[in-house]
Structure 1
Amino acid sequence: MIRGFRSFLIDFSLVIVIGLAVYVLSFGDSFSTVFQLPNSVLHMNTIFLSILIEALPFVLIGVLIAGIIQIFVTEDHIKRWIPKNTFLAIIMSCFVGALFPACECGIVPIVRRLLAKGVPIHAGIGFLLTGPLINPLVILSTYMAFGNDFKIAASRMILGFFIAILISIIISVLFKSNQLKHTLEIPHIHTSSHASQSIFSKLGHTVTHAVDEFFDMGKYLIVGALLAAFVQTYVSSEALLELGSGQVSSTAVMMGLAYLLSLCSEADAFIAASFSNVFPTTAILGFLIYGPMTDLKNTMMMLSVFKTKFVLLFVLIVTVVVFSVLTLLDGFY
């Protein structure tokens, strides 16, 4: 079932209002002249637009895949595909995620649908972590960003995979239920009464659910992008960089920078490469591994899907595990 018409109108109106505001700030020269907007506001708006333009294609792909899962994947399929053994389920989900080209925004609606279909929380988190972090596009962009040097790309892939498994195991111990904020209403289109539906009818249902998912996720993406743009504009990165004078503190600073900047994982390596002459390799890896696992806009989207307590503990676990592993490996690099 689609959400109520009233809810749809609220979401659609929100997107329209924000879109108009963006248009006025970007192209309304007379508006800017009359109200004399500070340059920082215009700069924030430019960053906001760039984040949205960068993330929207992946969100659209994500909601389309979520619609396909909703219509074509049954609970029986999930039971057959996912191993019952917790560790094997985590390994499988991490491998599948590693092959899946998605960013940290586009992966959220996919994981929500998988969890609603019966995928255990530990497997869903494995997929959520590795998808944006070590998919083929990310590894290729990392390889190119660091001057065709495979060391950083390989370290990101291997360490990221190991850390994702470790975090998923911790999640499996702490949480047993799917931790979704709301129970999604799953239409039983695969029962015998619907078995005769044509492929075109199912594709229509897929698009319908994808649109519904987009408006569910879109408003939180907008809010997250706006917060990330505000931080990038008004929080001095130079002040943060000054804090990272030591080996340990530099890793913490780069992780914090990755969270606040909320860069797309397909492009973050080029920003990280610009810091390679300033910070040690472990700090650079902290930026490359931590950012795709959790950032500001991703947290906003997760808060719309998962229970608040789970999201806060998830961010804490990711932070502690990534920082601890990189600190232990500091001497190796």
Structure 2
Amino acid sequence: MLKWIFRFGTPLLGVGSLIMLTLIVTNRELPTAIFTEANFQSFKILFISIILEAFPFILLGVLFSALLQVFVTDELIQKWTPKNPVAGVLFGALLGLLFPLCECGMIPVVRRLIRKGMPAYIGIVYLLAGPIVNPIVYTSTYTAFRTTPEMAFARMGLAFAVSFIIGLLLYKFMKRSPLKAMTRQQHEHSNTDDHEHQHGHDHRHHRSHEHGVSGKGFRSRISSTMAHASDEFFEMGKYLIFGALLTGIIQTAVDRSTLAVFAEQPVFSYVFMMGFAFILSICSTSDAFIASSFSGIFDFGPLLAFLVFGPMIDLKNTLMLLSTFRIRIVLALIALTASLTFIGAWLTEVFI
């Protein structure tokens, strides 16, 4: 069933995205039976803003991923990756301090690291913690919550704790690679690049000592880097567009006046804010400013759940995850992240 959904859902969503882009560019409107003029204007703003916000981070992610593929050997990745599972989980949870990528650009990088030899549980920990546990997100959160700076510390701490626990669980129970099998074209492309990389490694002593690689060899690697980056950009980009399309439609249909009703429910407010973060799919570098606008409606705990769950799991991110990882792993990650975030945010509000 899911096979048919992915096979026919992608072209249908692609057609829908093209229709929306055409209407936006030509400044035309949908029939009022579907959208009012005000709602359609809101949709256009949301749809474009999500894409523009995520575009540079995806581009950064695929470029970094391509550089890893072409210039970094499997042996180097395996050498620098801790062998001890606890140290490995700590390494993955804190890797965002060195490579502060947004969640939009994380998936191609993590996929490449796993294929290069990094243990999958460490890569997934980096995927979960990296978008939050980094200096850029800390600064934006601290700025957005100037009157309650403890939110920035709580966000970093809870994100670290959730990713650390999930990493230990994955190490214990995940017995096979979480990645989907490569297509024949991807496999041939990867084998070609690996062969060229190995060939270059074997003959590096015959190259110019001053430059390390010959001009032809260096140009070949740059060309291979661009080819990898373009392939992964279009693969990840289509899911970003689909996610932005669905997010814009759903978010436009939600009436903000109903938020106060959900905020009055002590337990359901957490679930609602996590679901709201999932639907909004806002980049982790800017979602703190959205959360702070609800500080007069929701308490500390639900806002913290919003800030932690959203960057780890959201709508566009889930579509990208499903394109990269096995469905069973994605569902397990969603369930674990949601449960641990809920418990952690509730306990944080109780003790703060």
TM-score normalised per structure 2:
0.84
Structure 1 unmatched runs, 5+: 1-10
Aligned partner (choices 230, 236, 249) of residue 230 of structure 1: 249
Which residue does the alignment assign to 2:104? Answer: 105
Residues 1:271 and 2:294 are matched in the alignment: no
Shift of 1:55: 0.4
Instruction: Say if 1:142 and 1:152, in contact at 8 Å, map to a contact too.
Output: yes
Shift of 1:172: 1.8
Instruction: Say if 1:15 and 1:219, in contact at 8 Å, map to a contact too.
Output: no
Secondary structure of the structure 2 residue equivalent to 1:45: helix
Shift of 1:255: 1.2
Shift of 1:216: 0.9
Q: Structure 1: how far apart are the matches of 2:328 and 2:104?
A: 20
Which residue does the alignment assign to 1:6? Answer: none
Q: Structure 2: how far apart are the matches of 1:17 and 1:205?
A: 31
Structure 2 unmatched runs, 5+: 1-9, 205-212
Instruction: Say if 2:263 and 2:297, in contact at 8 Å, map to a contact too.
Output: no
Residues 1:262 and 2:281 are matched in the alignment: yes
Secondary structure of the structure 2 residue equivalent to 1:247: coil
Q: CA RMSD in A?
A: 2.4
Q: What is the one-letter code of the residue matched to 1:223?
A: F
Which residue does the alignment assign to 2:5? Answer: none
Shift of 1:19: 7.1
Structure 1 segments, 4+ long, off by >4 Å, are 13-20, 193-197
Instruction: Say if 2:17 and 2:241, in contact at 8 Å, map to a contact too.
Output: no
TM-score normalised per structure 1:
0.88
Could you report, residue by residue, the CA deviation over 1:92-128 in whole angstroms, capped at 9, with x for unpaired residues?
Answer: 1111123322111110111111111121111011110
Which residue does the alignment assign to 1:163? Answer: 162
Which residue does the alignment assign to 2:81? Answer: 82
Secondary structure of the structure 2 residue equivalent to 1:325: helix
Q: Structure 2: how far apart are the matches of 1:200 and 1:79?
A: 27
Shift of 1:251: 1.8
Secondary structure of the structure 1 residue equivalent to 2:267: helix
Q: Structure 2: how far apart are the matches of 1:246 and 1:17?
A: 40
Equivalent residues in 2 for 1:149-160, closer than 5 Å: 149-160=148-159
Q: Which segment is superposed worse, 188-197 or 45-54?
A: 188-197
Could you report, residue by residue, the CA deviation over 1:253-310 in whole angstroms, capped at 9, with x for unpaired residues?
Answer: 2111111111110000001111112222111111111111111110011011111111
Which residue does the alignment assign to 2:210? Answer: none
Q: Structure 1: how far apart are the matches of 2:68 and 2:350?
A: 44
Cα 1:206/1:263, change in 2 over 3 Å? same
Shift of 1:17: 6.4
Q: Structure 1: how far apart are the matches of 2:151 and 2:80?
A: 33
Q: How many residues align?
A: 320
Q: Structure 1: how far apart are the matches of 2:121 and 2:289?
A: 31
Shift of 1:134: 2.0
Cα 1:201/1:267, change in 2 over 3 Å? same
Instruction: Say if 1:101 and 1:131, in contact at 8 Å, map to a contact too.
Output: yes
Q: What is the one-letter code of the residue matched to 1:75?
A: D
State the identity as a percent: 39
Equivalent residues in 2 for 1:123-142, closer than 5 Å: 123-142=122-141
Instruction: Say if 1:137 and 1:266, in contact at 8 Å, map to a contact too.
Output: yes
Q: What is the one-letter code of the residue matched to 2:219?
A: F
Which residue does the alignment assign to 2:325? Answer: 306
Instruction: Say if 1:223 and 1:297, in contact at 8 Å, map to a contact too.
Output: yes
Shift of 1:213: 0.6
Which residue does the alignment assign to 1:289? Answer: 308
